[in-house]
C-alpha cells in the first residue's frame, strides 16, 4: 500500500480523497493555488504546498510543479481526482517515468478510451451497442456528408471533451457549419485538441451510467448504476442510484456490457461506462477513466468506499469481495449545490456568511465549504453535493426535500430552490423523466 499520496486537485474531491487516505493510514500531500491558500483541503492534508497562481493552467495543471512537490514530499502516488489531470495519458506516462504511481487505469487505456471516437470503435469490437456515427471530421464538407448519411438531428462532439464542453446538437444542414466551427474552437481552448466527430442524436432518452471497479488480476465488479438524465447544457445536476424505470432484464444486459468492455480493454481501478437508454435498448456513449463527481450516490447504496478501493486496486491489492456482496436494495439521490443565480444561471462569488449543513440518518454533504469561506471566480461553480439514502425511492425523495429545506447558505447565490422544484415535479417523482426534463422544469 502507498505510504504517502499527493492529491493533484482541489475543493470537494480533494477533501474526499484526504478523508479516505486518513482512514487507511496514508499520509497526504495537498497542492493549492494562490486563490486556494485558505482552502479546506490545504488545511486537512499532512503537508501543503502552493504551486502557482489562481488560474488552473498556472497551478492545478502545472505538471512540473506537481511532480516537484511529489518528489520533495516523498509521495509514492498521485491521486488526480476528477477533471484537471485525471484523464491525461501524458501525465500518467510522466508519473511512471518519475517512479510515481498515478491512481487510475494505465496510460494506454486512458488514451484509448479518452478519444471518444476510438472508444466507440473499441466498444463496438467488444460487442457493446453504439449509435450511428462518424470518424474524426477533417473538413466542413465531410461533416455535411456524414450528417446527411447519419440523418438529422446529430450531435457534434469533441473527441477529448468532457464536463459538458465541446458538444452541440445540430438539427439541420444550415446549422452544421457554424456549429462545427464553434465546437472545434471550444475544444481547442478547453482541451488543446480540436478534433471532432458526429453521432446520431437520440431524443427522449435516459442517461444511465454503470460504475465499475476492477483489479490488476482481471476481476471486475459492478457497483451499481446511476440515472444522470437531469442535465442543463450537458452538465449534470441530479443523480440517483439505481436508475428508476429500468427493468431488471435491461439492467443486467447493461451490467454485462460494461463488464465485458472493462475486461476487453484490461481496465483497472474505478471507472464508469455511460449509456443512452431508449425504451428497451441502450447505446454506449463514453467511458470515464476516473473517479466521477457522482460516485458518492453509489457509495450510499452499495456500502463500499469507492475511493478507498480505487487506491487499493491502484496499489495492486486484489478485490476481496464478490458481485453478490454488493448491496442493491436501497435508493439514493444526489443534488449538486452550485454557486449560481437561479434565474440567469450565472456563477456567483462572495463570502459565505452563514452555513448550516443538514444532518440526520443517511444524509451526507460532500463539500469543502466552511463559514467565511470566500468563493472565488476561478473554478467550477459546484460548492458541494447533498446526498440522501432511504429504503425506497419515495423515501429518498422525501428525505431530500427535508434536507434541502434545512440547508442554509448565505452570502453566495445558490441553486437550492431549483432542486426543490425537481423534487416536487410530477415527471421526476414518477421516474419517467429523460434528458429533456430541464427544459420543462426550468422554463
**Using CA atoms, how far apart are residues 70 and 51, in angstroms rounded to an integer?**
11
Q: Is 81 helix (H, G, I), strand (E, B) or coil?
A: coil
Taking each helix axis from N to C terminus, what angle separates 107-114 and 248-265, rounded to the nearest 10 degrees? 130
Q: Exposed, middle or buried: residue 301 (CB in 10 Å: 0-12, 13-18, 19+)?
A: buried
Half-sphere exposure of 304 (CA within 13 A, CB side): 26
Q: Of the candidates 52, 56, 82, which has an alpha carbon nearest to the alpha carbon of residue 65?
A: 52
Looking up cell 462518424 gives: 134
**Using CA atoms, how far apart are residues 205 and 168, in angstroms rounded to an integer?**
16
Q: Which of 16, 226, 290, 416 is flagged as catalytic?
A: 290
Q: Of the candidates 273, 237, 179, which has an alpha carbon nearest to the alpha carbon of residue 423?
A: 237
Residue 197, C-beta contacts closer than 8 angstroms, at least 6 positions apart: 116, 117, 133, 134, 135, 136, 137, 156, 157, 159
Q: Exposed, middle or buried: residue 353 (CB in 10 Å: 0-12, 13-18, 19+)?
A: exposed
290 in catalytic set = yes
In 201-347 the beta strands, taken as DSSP E runs, fall at: 206-214, 220-232, 235-241, 269-278, 281-288, 331-338
Looking up cell 471507472 gives: 271
Q: Kindly compute the dihedral angle of the four CA atoms of residues 86, 89, 93, 94, in this order, to the nearest 10 degrees.
A: -60
Please give the grid coordinates belonging to residue 16.
474526499
**Using CA atoms, how far apart are residues 385 and 364, in angstroms rounded to an integer?**
8
Q: Exposed, middle or buried: residue 426 (CB in 10 Å: 0-12, 13-18, 19+)?
A: exposed
Residue 437, C-beta contacts closer than 8 angstroms, at least 6 positions apart: 229, 230, 422, 425, 427, 428
Half-sphere exposure of 394 (CA within 13 A, CB side): 1
Q: Which residues are annotated as catalytic?
A: 290
Amino acid at each position: 500500500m502507498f505510504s504517502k499520496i499527493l492529491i493533484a486537485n482541489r475543493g470537494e474531491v480533494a477533501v474526499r480523497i484526504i478523508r479516505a487516505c486518513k482512514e487507511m493510514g496514508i499520509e497526504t500531500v495537498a497542492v493549492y493555488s494562490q486563490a486556494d491558500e485558505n482552502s479546506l483541503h490545504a488545511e486537512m492534508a499532512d503537508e501543503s504546498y502552493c504551486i502557482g497562481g489562481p488560474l488552473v493552467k498556472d497551478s492545478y495543471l502545472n505538471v512540473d510543479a506537481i511532480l516537484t512537490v511529489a518528489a520533495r514530499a516523498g509521495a509514492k502516488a498521485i491521486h488526480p481526482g476528477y477533471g484537471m489531470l485525471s484523464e491525461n495519458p501524458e501525465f500518467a506516462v510522466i508519473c511512471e517515468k518519475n517512479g510515481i504511481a498515478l491512481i487510475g487505469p494505465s496510460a494506454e487505456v486512458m488514451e484509448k478510451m479518452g478519444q471518444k471516437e476510438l472508444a466507440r470503435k473499441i466498444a463496438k469490437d467488444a460487442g457493446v451497442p453504439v449509435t450511428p456515427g462518424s470518424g474524426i471530421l477533417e473538413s466542413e464538407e465531410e461533416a455535411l456528408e456524414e450528417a446527411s448519411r447519419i440523418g438529422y438531428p446529430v450531435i457534434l462532439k469533441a473527441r477529448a471533451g468532457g464536463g459538458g464542453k465541446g458538444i452541440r446538437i445540430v438539427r439541420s444542414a444550415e446549422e452544421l457549419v457554424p456549429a462545427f466551427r464553434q465546437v472545434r474552437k471550444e475544444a481547442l481552448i478547453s482541451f488543446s485538441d480540436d478534433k471532432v466527430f458526429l453521432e446520431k442524436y437520440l431524443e427522449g432518452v435516459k442517461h444511465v451510467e454503470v460504475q465499475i471497479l476492477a483489479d490488476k488480476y482481471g476481476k471486475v465488479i459492478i457497483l451499481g448504476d446511476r440515472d444522470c438524465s437531469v442535465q442543463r447544457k450537458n452538465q449534470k445536476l441530479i443523480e440517483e442510484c439505481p436508475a428508476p424505470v429500468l427493468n431488471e432484464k435491461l439492467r443486467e444486459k447493461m451490467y454485462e456490457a460494461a463488464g465485458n468492455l472493462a475486461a476487453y480493454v484490461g481496465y483497472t481501478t474505478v471507472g464508469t461506462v455511460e449509456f443512452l437508454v431508449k425504451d428497451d435498448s441502450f447505446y454506449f456513449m463514453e467511458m470515464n477513466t476516473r473517479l466521477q463527481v457522482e460516485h458518492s450516490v453509489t457509495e450510499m447504496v452499495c456500502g463500499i468506499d469507492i475511493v478507498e478501493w480505487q487506491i487499493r486496486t491502484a496499489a495492486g491489492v486484489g478485490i476481496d469481495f464478490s458481485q453478490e456482496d454488493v448491496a442493491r436494495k436501497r435508493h439514493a439521490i444526489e443534488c449538486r449545490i452550485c454557486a449560481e443565480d437561479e434565474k440567469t444561471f450565472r456563477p456567483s462569488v462572495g463570502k459565505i456568511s452563514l452555513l448550516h449543513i443538514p444532518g440526520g440518518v443517511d444524509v451526507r454533504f460532500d463539500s469543502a465549504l466552511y463559514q467565511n469561506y470566500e468563493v472565488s471566480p476561478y473554478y467550477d461553480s459546484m460548492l458541494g453535493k447533498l446526498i440522501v439514502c432511504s429504503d425506497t425511492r419515495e423515501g429518498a425523495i422525501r428525505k431530500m426535500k427535508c434536507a434541502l429545506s434545512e440547508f442554509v447558505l448565505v452570502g453566495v447565490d445558490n441553486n437550492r430552490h431549483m432542486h426543490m422544484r425537481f423534487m416536487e415535479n410530477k415527471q421526476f417523482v414518477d421516474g419517467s423523466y429523460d434528458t429533456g426534463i430541464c427544459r420543462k422544469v426550468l422554463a
